[in-house]
Amino acid sequence: MAWHSIPIEEVFLRQKCGNTGLSGAEARARLAESGRNSIAIKQEISPIRIFLNQFKSILVLLLLLAALVSLALSFINPEEAEILDAILIFAIVIANAVFGFIQEYKAEKSIEALTRMAAPKATVLRDGGEVEIDSEDVVPGDVLILREGDKAAADARVIECFSFYCDESSLTGESVPEAKKAGVLPEKTPVADRSNMVFMNAVITRGRASAVVVRTGLKTEVGKIAKEIADAPDKVTQFQIEIEDVGRKVSLMTLAILAVIAATEFFMRTGDLLFIFITAVALGVAAIPEGLPAVVTLALSMATNRMVKQNALMRRLSTVQDLGAVNVICTDKTGTLTENVMTVTSIFQDGWSFEVTGKGFDRIGEFIPLSGGGSVRDMDMLLKCAVLCNDARESGDSFKGDPTEIAVLMPAYKAGMDAESLRARLRRVGEVSFSSDRKMMSTANSDGRSSYGFVKGAPEILIYRCTRILSRGKVRKMSQKDRDEILGHNNQMAAGALRVLGFAYTESPKSYEEKDLENDLVFLGLMGMKDPPREGVKEAVDDCRRAGIRVIMVTGDNKYTAEAVGRELGFGPKTMTGEELDTLTEEQLAKAVEKIDIYARTSPKHKVMLLRALKGNNHIVCMTGDGVNDAAAIKNSDVGIAMGIRGTEVTKQASDIIILDDNFITIRNAISEGRGTFDNIRKFVVYLLGANISEVLIVFLATVLMLGLSPKIAIQLLWINLVTDGLPALALGIDPPAKDVMHRRPRIKGERMIDANTVYFMASIGISATIAILAVYAHMVSLGDAPLAQTVLFITFVLLEMLTVYAVRWRYNRGIFGIATNKWLHLAVLTSVLLGFAAISPPLNPFFGTVPIGIGELEEIGAGLLGFVILLAIALKLEPLIVGSRGKPQKGAPNAAPHSVF
């Protein structure tokens, strides 16, 4: 039903109510029929569901399978297989799940605390009188009583109103409050222009009104968007895809090698099933990087904790990695790039122009002359007019009232004027409220001896109500030249996207009626205001551009305001409006989004159109916003960012990240952290997988070549993979971001963490280690002391994998031994070495089937380590010939797209 397009009498008829509201009994009946006035369609936070979600990874499922096989073997043949293996694997899986659960549960609870969507109370007419009720109990047909500071509880049609303005920016994106009035509008009037309607969550900034509720809950404009968002499927991040892909490849590799061993055992040997199962567990333990799920979770958790300290709350851990790949940011203007506080920046008075410094509620500022002369003393009457013809008031450290009125109040404070004392001395004795028809407001003020009328309004109208002008402290007749100069300056300020108000006064008005207060006035001056860019945002936008990230402004504000902010922040000169977007074909839109950086007068559908076009051009898009109107685009973007202060519940639930301070600078910092985290994850993934390749090959070759392996090999490999490898991997995860992290171009869409060069590097590590370790092990086996040989195999594994840590750091240009870069890494390596030797020393060595070793064995191990270094150096020298040059990201140029193996 188009409630805005029918007479109010018909609205009452269809809603079966009147302008006196409903009875209590009727309201209860309607509540039972229509349901509660709520858009909360999100499921309650379920700790069990969040915990179970941690077990969806293929790697985790493989570990569980290995644990179950090991458990079964421990009952079938306890001499060959111990239950300790199964317990350790289960412990790893549970620890990983606990880490992930804690982080995600904390994030969900934080979001729950942040969301304050619905108005908690509403004033309605019930049984002929005003009553305050829970907003969820509002029903269709209720008559809302709306006053300044209230938040609308539902969609309602205005019955009557007085100087009534609403801030609907959360729905429409408009930064300036909209004037509302009773009346009938055309059926096809856009939501943003329905001046006879108030919508759920609109904040009343001025005046009062009564309105009849026509839609509640999910049927409201906000509710419709909330339902669309809730119905959309959850997106899967690129990082989740890559980790699952690695898991599948590891699974297939393990099964293939196991098939070879099983075939060899059946056709060439005894066909011992128990041997095959024990080997299967050993292979599973060797192939699966047990520490990887835990290390990934911990690294992401630490990254998210660092980001929270920088005011960025991650809702999903895996989003951290995707942040580093973003190459386009579509950002809202109001409150993200700008302060979301109107600020007077320019004053024109008696031919003199002043720049006013200070932003928002800052009471300290300067008046810098730009032309002519003049001083703050000359503005005394102008500033008094701005204070007295004003309904805004102090509220603690802040102010309460219409944003425009707060803005024109601030210059008086900056000039040292005591506004409250002035109001007490010149008390208001009459007023004519602002109306959109007159475009002005006037007050009558008196100190008991003298009385004045003060007026503010649209300059192009106010100027023709003035017959005189205050010049050099004296009142004189206004000439046509004065009018032309004032109107010319007004146009100049408006062209700079300033919202301009004119001020005038009269002495000893005959009455306090409109005809006497608003005619034969003395002109005082002009004030131009805007919502200025946030401090530091220009530098943050520049940083993003240097990092190869394009920043696009998408706003519901008008074209001129958007262009003015864009100029200050270095955006391109081209602008396109939502109306112009509607005329483009898909092909034209795909071309336009590559050239235009500012989009004005956009609606929710335009944001989705832009997002679709950018993603269609293979961009990885981050969409930011705060209002309900942003939620659909945020949900469908690669990385969705909601604002924590101004953001609505719908938007927060649709997002991946919540910016707690609503600042674009925090987005820049989050991207930097995301890039650094990606680098670290790649380092420890390469480290762990490279080490596991050698473990798999050695288990396979030792089995096929009948060199013999300890029955304790599974628990030995578990100790290596989890304890000795896990600590250095975790330390790699906290490497500080590289200094050039925001000077690189983003990764190209489709580029994987594990590309051809990375696979070659891991294979080089694995094969070099296999040759070196097998040579040492075969020599020790030939000496006839199996326990000693297996101990040397174990320690060689431990020490060689510590060398691999530094090889990985060298590979990624982080230095090898620089203590200043990551002291925790060197401590982790030392601890891992000590833990490795602890496993071959009493009292732990019986659990691992190892024996103490001497100098001779250490010399054998040293020779193996030297052989590994030589073989790895040779392999890396051959890399350009085999897979091509690795290349380095170039400043100002996209990365070369490597061939993706995984």
Within 10 Å of residue 778's Cβ, how many Cβ atoms?
14
Report how far residue 295's alpha carbon sits from residue 828's, in angstroms, rounded to the nearest whole number: 13
Report how far residue 586's alpha carbon sits from residue 487's, in angstroms, rounded to the nearest whole number: 43
Q: From start to end of 341-387, where are the E strands?
A: 343-349, 352-356, 367-371
Q: Is 92 helix (H, G, I), strand (E, B) or coil?
A: helix
Report how far residue 656's alpha carbon sits from residue 637's, in angstroms, rounded to the nearest whole number: 10
Q: Say if strands 474-477 and 328-331 run parallel, antiparallel, or are unpaired.
A: unpaired
Q: From start to end of 463-555, where are the E strands?
A: 466-471, 474-477, 499-507, 521-530, 550-554
Active site residue 725: no
Distance set, CA 780 to CA 772, 776, 796, 864 (Å): 13, 6, 12, 12
342 within 8 A of 406, measured Cβ to Cβ: yes
Report how far residue 578's alpha carbon sits from residue 559's, in angstroms, rounded to the nearest whole number: 10
Distance set, CA 403 to CA 152, 175, 178, 339, 412 (Å): 18, 10, 12, 12, 16
> How far separated are the first and last CA of the chain, in Å rounded?
53
Out of 85, 167, 332, 725, pick the active-site residue: 332
Q: Which residues pair with 161 in a beta bridge?
A: 209
Handedness of CA 192, 196, 202, 204 (dihedral sign): positive
What are phi and psi for residue 361, nearest 5 degrees?
A: -90, 15
780 within 8 A of 792, measured Cβ to Cβ: yes
Long-range contact set of residues 250-255: C-beta below 8 Å, sequence gap at least 24: 250/58, 250/59, 250/62, 250/287, 250/288, 250/289, 251/58, 251/62, 253/287, 253/696, 254/62, 254/283, 254/284, 254/287, 254/288, 254/696
Place of tokens 């270095």: 570
Active site residues: 332
